[in-house]
Chain A
Amino acid sequence: MDRLYLILTLFLLLNLAAGMWRVLRGPSAVDRMLASQLFGTTAVAILLLLAQLYEREALRDVALLFALLAAVTAVAFVRRLWQSHEHK
């Protein structure tokens, strides 16, 4: 099982790296924002896998915090930036 966890974390990290292309490419601010939303979910999955792999409960707390705060940046984008700048 441990090998599977390792392979999957690597796979997810590669996924995240591929998503970086969308951040760089855009074209609009919303697209970049969406990509960073993807990173959040992927990071949660990576942390949960690592928690199981190393048997460290604390890593699940880190993932829990990620999940709790996943919306904050996007909400700030929608409520503050999008309105005032009309980033399209």
Chain B
Amino acid sequence: MNISDYLSALLLIAGGLFFLAGTLGLLRFPDIYTRLHALTKADNVGLGLMVAGLAIQADSWAVVGKLLLIWGLVLLAGASVAYLIANGALKRGIRLWRR
């Protein structure tokens, strides 16, 4: 293990923790909007960290490019779906959670 290995391991594990946070949010948060927040933010950051960790290990720039493209696409899908669902839920009068 050299220094870049340690760095990428750190990023990968951090990414895994964000995924865990996303899943916990999905299971524990009280309403649609908060769950949406947990999913589309935490998971996309988790994937981003994992992509960064894997990019350090990649053999070629083509692989790095493909990894970044995949992350960008997931971000695009996540953001659009989050908007569509939140917008739809608001229009249907699903109420926001209050303590």
A residues in contact (CB < 8 Å) with B: 1, 4-5, 8, 11-12, 15, 18-19, 21-22, 28, 30-31, 33-35, 37-38, 40-42, 44-45, 48-49, 52, 57, 60, 63-64, 67-68, 70-71, 74-75, 78, 82, 86, 88
Interface SS of B by simple majority: helix
A21–B27 CA distance with the chains assembled, in angstroms: 8
Total number of B residues with any Cβ neighbor in A under 8 Å? 47
Contacts of B85 in A (CB 8 A): 30, 33-34, 74, 78
A44-B70, A75-B84, A88-B92 given; name 8 further pairs at CB < 8 Å: A18-B23, A30-B89, A35-B26, A37-B40, A45-B47, A63-B70, A74-B77, A74-B85
